[in-house]
Amino acid sequence: MSTRRPTGGSRYLYDSFDAASARIEANERVAEERWAGLEYRLQQMEATLERLEKRLWLAVYGVVAVILAQGVQSLIVQ
């Protein structure tokens, strides 16, 4: 003989609930979201560093150009 479940009421009254498994799954989802957030922030930082590096090289080339221009000007004036 099989036992019949009552048809009325909530299924949660009759089904077992594994709290440890639910907690582990929730922690895994939180960890995945945190990891995705970290990756997003890391990509933003890398893009910012690339822009900063371009600006620094532009400044270095500008200083070198000014020094060379002054050197050429001093040679021409003499």
**Tens digits of residue pLDDT in 33-56:** 999 999 999 999 999 999 999 999
> For residue 69, what are the CA distances in angstroms to 21, 49, 61, 66, 76?
72, 30, 12, 5, 10
Mean residue pLDDT across the chain: 87
Whole-model pTM: value is 0.57
* Segments making up each domain of the chain, as ranges: 11-77
Where are any strands of DSSP class E within the chain?
Answer: none
